[in-house]
Amino acid sequence: MVVLLEIALALGLVGLVVSYFFRGRRDAERQDVIERRVEAYMQTIRREGGNGELARMGDLELRDLLLSAARNLRIQAERRWYILLGGAAAAVLAAIAVGTEEGTRGFGIVLVVAAVVLYEFLGRRMREPLAARGIDVERLRVE
């Protein structure tokens, strides 16, 4: 059993080292995709003219705004994972506390309520600031 644990830890360490070395290339590819999407979105804004504020901006200003929005979206997505992990840990602890008194039904109810709250909180927090400026979040998202 201990040998399997040591092998799993060694494989995990090797995986972390390999992912660290390939991180730069992955970030460069992601940046290229973001720049292509920003260019395409700029052309769409110029062609359709849907949002007057964005359509009146110069090319450099609009490009900077959209690149900044894409960067903020990426940072919010990373931050969302940390909040999700912390919220899930707190939800499980709360569900265990309720589950000891109320049983399985109480445990399940607390987990469902926590999942809905986290989903709504994280989804709105990430999109509302960009949507308020008239930026379509889905056009800048890079998976």
Lowest mean pLDDT among 28-32, 34-38, 126-130: 126-130
Give me the chain's average pLDDT, please.
79
Q: What tokens were used for 96? A: 């265990």
pTM of the model as a whole: 0.55
- Give 95-130 pLDDT, tens digit per residue: 888 888 888 888 888 888 888 888 777 766 666 666
Question: Residue 87: its pLDDT value, please?
Answer: 83
Over range 30-48, report the average pLDDT.
84
Question: Residue 108: its pLDDT value, please?
Answer: 87
Locate the domains of the chain by residue range.
2-140
**In the predicted structure, residue 43 carries a pLDDT above the cut 70:** yes
Amino acid at the residue 52: G
Who wins on pLDDT, 29 or 134? 29
Q: Is 70 exposed, middle or buried (0-12, 13-18, 19+ CB in 10 A)?
A: buried
Amino acid at the residue 75: I
Question: Residue 62: its pLDDT value, please?
Answer: 84
Return the DSSP state at 51.
S
- Give 127-142 pLDDT, tens digit per residue: 666 666 666 666 666 6
**Distance of alpha carbon 133 from alpha carbon 50, whole angstroms:** 12
Over range 27-31, report the average pLDDT.
80
Q: Which contacts (CB < 8 Å, 24+ apart) does range 72-78 have?
A: 72/129, 72/130, 73/126, 73/130, 73/137, 73/140, 73/141, 74/142, 76/125, 76/126, 77/126
